[in-house]
Amino acid sequence: MRLGALEAGGTKMVCAIGNENGEIFERTSIPTETPEITVPKLIEYFADKEIEALGIGCFGPIDLNRNSDTYGYITTTPKLIWANYDIVGAFREALKIPVGFDTDVNGSALGEATWGITKGLENSMYITIGTGVGAGIISNGKLLHGMLHPEGGHLLLAKHPSDSYEGRCPYHKTCLEGLASGPAIEARWGKKGVELADKKEVWELEAYYIGQALVDYIMILSPQRIVLGGGVMHQEHMMPMVREEVKRQLNGYLQTKELEDMENYIVLPSLNDNQGIMGALKLAMDECQLENKG
Ligand code: ADP
Ligand code: ZN
């Protein structure tokens, strides 16, 4: 089965052709400009590839309610030229194939849960700490959607008493994204994260916020494993610090075999940065099945 996958991001669109085993045959990347400029290029890429379905993992917020008139739209995104854009409709109309659709981070959660480190677990999470922060949640074996889709990057946090940075989220200032995203690190310390590798206080504070968020997710969602991805997690010393913080902030309240084995509980992604695009392949597959049944 030949399938198309699209990881739609704010700076680039990654397109790939693969199959139902998560194998990727080819890929390309196209810069994200306006829908008028970018979407025709994407359609041109997929048009002659003989794919049976397309899956899209997309920046958001997006409308995932199949009963809504604006299902498949990018809705109120801060990337204003893409707001209220019917991205699923554009591909369906041009390619005339089933188009699966979900958030970018749900795509990554699905990729890891189908072929990666959370495979076989009924409850897991994928969190990306990068330009933005997002969380994809698998609950009882399915991606969690609810009213819209979870926006776990905007979890409201308590500030560290020594942190005088005001936070950069335009909506909440001191949410997880506002305090711990790559751009928040840069704004607080005046340098990019990659240039701050040897500054211990930077990563202690970062681990404090990520740890706090993970404790909240653990309390509410009870995941069996948490995957932490995104550019900021490329700081290799972060992972042990985050695990320590989670332990410290849980303060012995929960005792499970998973939490006792922290190194296998909070983990890095396992699919060589292909988790998002592989998740999009799975979205394509699932949509195909759904439409064949219907
Ligand atoms: P995006 O979120 O845009 O898809 P990334 O996940 O790569 O992309 O995140 C980019 C952010 O991560 C930037 O803010 C960048 O400064 C930060 N970043 C990238 N690499 C590192 C690193 N090695 N150490 C710390 N921060 C990093
Ligand atoms: Zn926010």
* Tens-digit pLDDT profile for residues 130-173: 999 999 999 999 999 999 899 999 999 999 999 999 999 999 99
- pLDDT tens-digit readout, 176-197: 999 999 999 999 999 999 999 9
pLDDT (0 to 100) of residue 264: 98
pLDDT at 79: 78
Question: For the residues of 194-253, what is the DSSP string, one character each?
Answer: GGGTT-HHHHHHHHHHHHHHHHHHHHHH--SEEEEESGGGGSTTHHHHHHHHHHHHHTT-
In the prediction, which pLDDT does 268 show? 98
Is the shortest distance between the CB of 230 and ligand 1 below 6 Å? yes
What is residue 283's predicted lDDT score, i.e. its pLDDT?
98
Tell me which amino acid residue 99 is: V
Q: What is the pLDDT of residue 114?
A: 98
User: What is the per-residue pLDDT for 80?
Assistant: 82
Binding site membership of 232 for ligand 1 (Cβ less than 6 Å): yes
- pLDDT at residue 204 is higher than 80: yes
- DSSP one-letter code for 82: G
Q: Which candidate, 94, 121, 95, 108, places its Cα nearest to that of 152?
A: 108
Q: Render pLDDT for 211-267 as a digit per residue (tens, 0 to 9).
A: 999 999 999 999 999 999 999 999 999 999 999 999 999 999 999 999 999 999 999
CA of 131 to the centre of ligand 2 (A): 13
Average pLDDT over residues 255-280: 98
Q: Tens digit of pLDDT for each residue in 76-93? A: 877 789 999 999 999 999
Ligand nearest to the CA of residue 172, numbered in listed order: 2
pLDDT of residue 191: 98
Q: Hey, which of 108, 194, 233, 238 would you mutate to test ligand 1's pocket, going by the most ligand atoms within 8 Å of its Cβ?
A: 194
21-75 per-position pLDDT tens digit: 999 999 999 999 999 999 999 999 999 999 999 999 999 899 999 999 999 999 9
Banded pLDDT at 293 (limits 50, 70, 90)? confident
Instruction: Tell me the CA distances in angstroms from 196 to 10, 137, 168, 190, one per residue in order.
Output: 25, 31, 19, 10
Between the CA of 78 and the centroid of ligand 2 the distance, in Å, is: 12
**Quick check: CB of 194 below 6 Å from ligand 1?**
yes
Q: What is residue 294's predicted lDDT score, i.e. its pLDDT?
A: 66
Domains and CATH numbers, the chain: 3-104+273-289 (3.30.420.40), 117-267 (3.30.420.40)
Section 110-134 average pLDDT? 97
Tokens of 251: 């303060």
